[in-house]
Each structure stands twice: as structure tokens, then as C-alpha cells.
Amino acid sequence: MFKALATGVKVKRGRFEVDPALMKKVKQQYITEEEIDKIVDMRREYLDWMQYNFGQKLIKPPRTSKTED
Amino acid sequence: MTEQFRIYSKDAYHIPLSKGQKPPAELALDNYLTFACRHKFCLEVCPVYQVTRNEAHTSYGFHTSLFAIWKGIGNIEELGGTFTHCLQCGACEVRCPNTLFMGDFYKVTQTTIELVRKVRSDLVRAGVGFPGLDEVKKEVEFHLQAISKRDDLMKWTEGLDVQVGGRCDLVLYVSRFTATQATETARAAAKLLKKAGLNFSVIDMPQAGIGEALDIAREDKFVELARKDVDKLREMGAEMVVVVDPHDYFFFRRIFTRIFGELPFKVVFITDVLWQMMEEGRLVAQNEIHKRVIYHDPCTLNKLTNVWESPRKILSKIPGVQFTDEHHIDQWYYCCGNGVSTFKKVNPEIAFTIGQRRIRRALDLGGKTLALGCPHCWDHLTEVKTKSKSDIELINVIEILAQSVGV
């Protein structure tokens, strides 16, 4: 199961959500769980589409970072 | 009236705009978030912008116009000409990173369709109006008269030998537009459910299905009609409601749930049920249908409710059909040109151009038949096809399946 790494982040149904208490300036809107699911599904599909269309090659990370000692 | 119902997802949208007054600060902040984003991913994905190349006709333009009024460099009398240039297709909403990459995290998304409806209704309430308003009012009045005429509304069921009204777990929902303008689609849906051996009832005298009411400050009427249908379905004992018109499906899944909360029945789109019946072997596509088919994703399914798989699966399983699949994400950029409510009545020329481009795209891919999932797309593209003298065939996926199944 996912675990939130930052404060102010909650995990709900296995998904990250901001702590609503932090949303003081910009108010959260009314949104159903179904609509949340729709966004998550569409994001996954969109990223798959991006990968299919534009992912020509996969760049591997270096074994060690040049900036590290 | 709007305060009584959750017509909009954002509280600030419920405060009406007035002549000579600044929009509320909460709305200005919402507008600013789009104005300041600078992504402008909402431009190219917008079928209207692809034709007019006018940034004012995009989600970015709508939000910026309102923000300008808040800054004191505009007034609401200027809004009508721009806010009528929205198909309400939802492309900008889903393509916007604020929705696609952050919406589920922050629970703040791009809600352009609601904003457009709010502004149009506010313009009506403020006595400003917008171009084409009279046409839209006529359409709403036409619907209100038509839903009381049983002979017209339920005529499509004649000779089908199906239960109409009464108690039943499974209800087929066919609203006024499909019942009167796309009767072959409605009949094919009923025949296929019957062929699959499902025990179902057709809703008697449906009332809802007029999204235009939300554009002309008639939210009360929209809610009243929606409530009548939801109450009727509850009284019928419906556990599952099968919807034939994608516009109605969008209303049920996204708007009715916002207004009434969780519905007491499950709502599914017709092609999802038909595909399930095919998978279970209860519907067999046996007759060869020799067509070179392209599928057009209706906005209300693809962008607004994320239903795109089942029509493709159905077409792929019909023997004889040469199906060229255009990816559903590519089709975020498309629309038939009709729009979800008032667009075609206000901007017929742009609607025609968008439709013409959609047909050309299908022809470019070698398609001879454009399979549709929506009676409104069929209605509009038929007009475009006739005017542009195209020989492409336009037919609903359900009707192709019915031909193959042999009903």
C-alpha cells in the first residue's frame, strides 16, 4: 500500500490527496468518487497514449550521479 | 433558484453575475488560476478554436474575460459573443493539467462547461442575453410540449412487444430526442436486449433530456424534469437503467448525481450492456456486414464519461466489418459539431465546418461508413453530409450490431 511521504498529503483508496484543511485560499469543489476515478483512468490512458506516440526510446539513469561525491 | 440545488460543482458559480458589479472574488480566483496557467493546452484540443483560431473562444479565453471584468477592464454585456462559442464537449476540461494531473489530488478541476452554462444563464437573468437566445428558448419550449404527447413519445415501441412502464429490475431509458428523431436506434436497442433474453421494461413518458435549460436560467425546469424521471425509475423498482442517448448518460452520471446525490439504481450505457451480452454468448453477431468502418467517439461518452471501449469491441467482433480504429485520445480533438446543448443553434456555420472536418477525417482513413454512438451526432452529421454532398454512410453502432445479429 502507498504511504504518503509528505505532510499534508493523505492516502485515500490507495490514492494521494491533499489534506483538505490546507485548501484555504482555493476552495475544493464538490466532486464524486466516480469523477475522481474517471480522472485517474483518463490520466493513465493519456500517459499510455503519450508513451505510444512519443516514447521512441527509454533513457536509463546513470549508475552514479555526477553531482554526488 | 440555483442556490436550492447543487447545479455547479464550485460554490462561487452559484453567485450570479450582475450588470455593473464585479464578479465575486472567489470566482475571480478560480478564473485567475486558468488565466495564470499559461499552459493553454485547452486551445488546440478545442474543436471550435481549430476553426475560428480565436483565443476568446476557448476555456482560457472564457476565464480570462471574467477575470478582466473583475479587474475592471470589461463588462458582462461583452460576454455573450464569446461564451456562445463553446460546444460543451469537455475537451478542455480533461486536457487541462489542472484536471488530468492534479484534479484528483487537489479536488479542484477545470469546469468550463459549468462556467459556460453559468455565464449564459446569468446573462439571461441580468437581461443581457446572448446571440441565438430565442432559438434556444424555442428548443426548450418544444421539448416541454413534446414530452406530454404520448403518441409521439412512445410511438417507437409500437410492434416491438416490450413492456412499457410497470415494475422491473432492468429499465431501458429512451428520452425524447432518440424516441422521436432516431427511432431506428431505439428500436434496435430494444430488439437486441430482447434477443439477449433480458427481462426489461421501457420507461414510460420520460421527461428529462433537455440540457439547453441549463443555458437559459431554467435550472428549475431541468431539475424538475430530472426528478420526475428519477422518481419514476425508483417507483419502477429499477436496479439497473440502460441509457441509449449519451447525452442522457452524461446527465445521469455527472449532473443528476450532483443534484440528487447517489442514485438508487445503477446507470449503464447501452453498448456496455450489449458487449457484455456478446461476451456471455447471449448475442451472436453472425451475419456478415461488409463495411469499411471508422468509429466516431461522442464527446459525452469519450470525454465526459470515459466510455469508449465497448463500441470498439462490438465493431471488432462483427464479421465482415473492416474496422479502422482511431485512438480515443486522438478523438479528444474531435467533435461532430453539434455540441451538448445550444452550440449548433447559435453557431450553425461553425458547427457545419466542424462536422465537415470530422467526415473528411474519416474519409482520409479510407472509411466508407462512420459508425456513431450518439443520435445527436447522427442528426447533425446527416445534415452536414447532405449539405456537403458526401456519400459517407452514417449509422449507429447499435444498428450495425442489430443487422449482424439479425433482429
CB proximity list for B325: less than 8 A, separation 6 or greater: B295, B312, B316
Query: Are B31 and B116 part of one and the same domain?
Result: yes
- CATH number for the domain harbouring residue B25: 1.10.1060
Residue pLDDT, tens place only, B339-368: 998 899 899 999 999 999 999 999 999 999
Q: What is the pTM of this model?
A: 0.95
Residues B107 and B185 in one domain: no
Q: Tell me the C-alpha distance between A52 and A56, whole Å.
A: 8
Q: Are A43 and B101 within 8 A, CB to CB?
A: yes
- Dump pLDDT digits (tens) for B82-100: 999 999 999 999 999 999 9
Q: CATH number for the domain including B151?
A: 1.20.1050
Q: Is the reported ipTM for this assembly greater than 0.90?
A: yes
Q: How far is CA B101 from CA A14, B32, B385, in A?
A: 16, 19, 38
Q: Which residue of B has its CA nearest to A52?
A: B327
Same domain for B250 and B324, yes or no, is no
Give residue A67's pLDDT: 66
The pLDDT tens digits of the residues spanning B173-214 come to 999 999 999 999 999 999 999 999 999 999 999 999 999 999
Of the pLDDT bands very low, low, confident and very high (cuts 50, 70, 90), residue B230 is: very high
Question: Does the CB of B306 have a partner CB in chain A at under 8 Å?
Answer: yes
Q: Mark which of B226, B252, B277 sits at the end of a domain.
A: B277
User: What is the domain partition of chain A in residue ranges?
Assistant: 25-54
pLDDT in tens, B315-341: 999 999 999 999 999 999 999 999 998
**Cβ neighbours of residue A21 closer than 8 Å, sequence gap 6 or more:** none
pLDDT given for residue B334 in this prediction: 97
Rounded Cα distance, B157 and B164, in Å: 8
Neighboring chain A residues of B258 at a CB cutoff of 8 Å: 30, 32
Assess whether pLDDT exceeds 60 at residue A1.
no
* Domain end position, chosen among B277, B295, B325: B277
B316 in the same domain as B396: yes
Residues B173 and B194 in one domain: yes
Spatial CA neighbour of B112 closest among B301, B339, B308:
B339
Question: How do residues B31-61 score in pLDDT, each as one tens digit?
Answer: 999 999 888 999 999 999 999 999 999 999 9
Of B114, B130, B146, the residue that ends a domain is B130
pLDDT band of B1, cuts 50, 70, 90: very low
Whether residue B96 is found in the same domain as residue B163 = no
Query: How many domains does chain B contain in total?
Result: 3
Least CB-CB distance to A16: which of B10, B105, B327? B105
Q: What is the mean pLDDT of residues B8-23?
A: 94
Q: How confident is the model at residue B3 (pLDDT cuts 50, 70, 90)?
A: very low
Domain assignment of residue B255, given as a range: 135-277
Residues B363 and B390 in one domain: yes
